[in-house]
Structure 1
């Protein structure tokens, strides 16, 4: 209990407890009485604290001491909910929160998530999982959430201040040869061989391939219209929606060597009707990522590609081969549906006619590589070889 010793100051008040320690209080911007959350050894220490508060108020830096008393788990869930994110990004963030952030930090309020706690949490994650990439993703997410808390005036400073902790050191993307792409297409079987070719020579993202319908393919003009993306969520459900960026909605001109592949696939494997799926699973429904993943691991070995070569790496193969055939950076960006804000690219242009030239260059290069490969590997021709001819 405080006694009556002490005096009123111009800003705030200090009082001494019977224990001999001092307390301080002041009126906040809304007229509420705000007390220090600590006691002070001397009267001077209490007055210094009040002077600091007064300075914060005059600079507009004052923050309600109770503002940060918001549970991190609750705030993080709301943070994800309020953002316009791709469904796969939502799944990723929720997994990072559920598996890596909330178990260690979810019981704390925002103002209790201190820099030392963040450092301890990151160190524990690296030690327990040895997953540097996943830990970097989790750290970036936590940093983004806490930065919003700063903007919301709930905390005064972001506690995520570890230099380089959010950076990922991605491995060098692997590039397949023309012969290896053909080997993958042969090994994966007739149902999905065109998917391999569109992944490499489109080059299209898996979620874009999943969204293709029969009406999106013009076998006469040899073009594919990418309109939507249908990523598969972690719960197994598809989430039809827009492409990854505005540039993702595009018309892809295919090289001429794929004409027979396209005609054969439309004749045998695509669903009937304009809205029929271009690629279907073995049971006739939309193909599943998990099922396709098991098939991919098998055919990757059969085709002689190294462990870690992903279906998505076919896009990088397409980028590389297009560049080798004479495409400019802007040409490959348009072809792959990529966007960039770099000023140097804004004024460059790659129209439909230029995309036809890029496809022709790619066609010539692939045919040449195939001819060289067949010279080195003479032998009988199988059904897949016949389909590849045009």
Structure 2
């Protein structure tokens, strides 16, 4: 039978058990007596543990051990739901949880996820996937969820403390030449030609082009208004909504050589009603990523670009060419629809007139590049001639 006499302390109580070990109990801020989660070899060890608990309570750092017994999977899924994310972000977060985080931590309580477990999990994911960028995204997500748990006072400290683990170090993306952009536009065919040029010389994101309506095209000034975005989810469903950021809502002044492409596309391929889509498939439905992707891969192979050259890399090409044409960093950011918190950029400005000047610089650069003699294969001769005649 346990010794019930107990040894009174100024804070908490310690008693010796029949096993010879010691049990400690203490009053929480709510007055409820709580036992230590384990016993101690000596009364001194029990006293030291009680002193730590008393210090935590005095500093306001005490965490209710019952509150921290919250299942991670339930908490994480609720965390995603409460964020009110854009459809593409929610899809990404749920996929990262399902594939990379929950298999390891799903059955654990929040307080059972420790720094050593996080380190082991990250190392295992890097070895198993060989995808450091994906693992970095998963780590950032786990860290954000656990940081909210700290704010909710469910755990005392975030266990995600690996320096640099959330940083992505993607390789520098390739840049296409003007001739390669023309060749890609030719290879994609008349219906998709304009998409290539808008990506390279806009530069417009794929989801922004998917949302373009006839009313967004300004033929007189040669430009387009980016007002919304319609990314396609992995289910095939379109998710109409806002642009990636407030800076994404913008006017794109385009090079003068694109006037004929804009005019021809509206006449031949865009839906006829004023609010009709600019880009639709051969059967008149909004274009699908899968169908477009097959055309893109064939065109890329025909032009001789590497397999890892993505349609999205045309935006990087556009950024590079815009800078080479004399645009400032702020000009490039405005065209790309990117925002920044750098104080040095707050007082810089790039209005519509400046964007027209940037587009004119692009126009001169592209025309000059097209005027340079270059070896052209017979099968691409007609397409290149068409491009240079615009």
Partner of 1:106: 106
Contact 1:257 1:388 in 2 (8 A): no
Which sections of structure 1, spanning at least 5 residues, go unmatched? Answer: none
CA-atom RMSD in angstroms: 1.6
Q: Aligned with 2:7: secondary structure?
A: coil
Instruction: Trace 1:184-223 onto structure 2 (pairs within 5 A).
Output: 184-223=184-223
What's the offset of the Cα at 1:209? 0.4
1:17-66 Cα offsets, whole Å, 9 max, x none, are: 12221111122111222111111111121111111111111111111122
Instruction: Trace 1:369-380 onto structure 2 (pairs within 5 A).
Output: 369-373=369-373, 376-377=375-376
Q: Aligned with 1:252: secondary structure?
A: strand
Deviates more, 1:131-140 or 1:186-195: 131-140
Contact 1:248 1:337 in 2 (8 A): yes
TM-score normalized by the length of structure 1: 0.96
What's the offset of the Cα at 1:383? 6.0
Instruction: Trace 1:34-53 onto structure 2 (pairs within 5 A).
Output: 34-53=34-53
For 1:308 and 1:92, the matched residues in 2 are separated by: 21
Pair 1:371–1:324, CA change in 2 (3 A): same
Instruction: Trace 1:242-261 onto structure 2 (pairs within 5 A).
Output: 242-261=242-261
Are 2:353 and 1:353 aligned?
A: yes
Q: Aligned with 2:251: secondary structure?
A: strand
Partner of 1:4: 4
Q: Aligned with 2:191: secondary structure?
A: coil
What's the offset of the Cα at 1:371? 0.8
Partner of 1:225: 225
What's the offset of the Cα at 1:107? 0.8
1:131-161 Cα offsets, whole Å, 9 max, x none, are: 2221121111111111211121111122122
Contact 2:186 2:383 in 1 (8 A): no
TM-score normalized by the length of structure 2: 0.96
Partner of 1:240: 240
Pair 1:87–1:23, CA change in 2 (3 A): same
Pair 1:373–1:322, CA change in 2 (3 A): farther
What's the offset of the Cα at 1:217? 0.3
Contact 2:110 2:154 in 1 (8 A): yes
What's the offset of the Cα at 1:381? 5.6
Pair 1:120–1:163, CA change in 2 (3 A): same
Partner of 2:139: 139
Partner of 1:89: 89
What's the offset of the Cα at 1:84? 3.5
Partner of 2:320: 320
Instruction: Trace 1:71-82 onto structure 2 (pairs within 5 A).
Output: 71-82=71-82
Partner of 1:309: 309
Partner of 2:168: 168
For 1:266 and 1:76, the matched residues in 2 are separated by: 46
Which sections of structure 2, spanning at least 5 residues, go unmatched? Answer: none
For 2:383 and 2:187, the matched residues in 1 are separated by: 12
Q: Aligned with 1:192: secondary structure?
A: helix
Partner of 1:158: 158
For 1:340 and 1:2, the matched residues in 2 are separated by: 66
1:163-213 Cα offsets, whole Å, 9 max, x none, are: 222222211111100000000000011111100000000100011000000
Partner of 1:288: 288
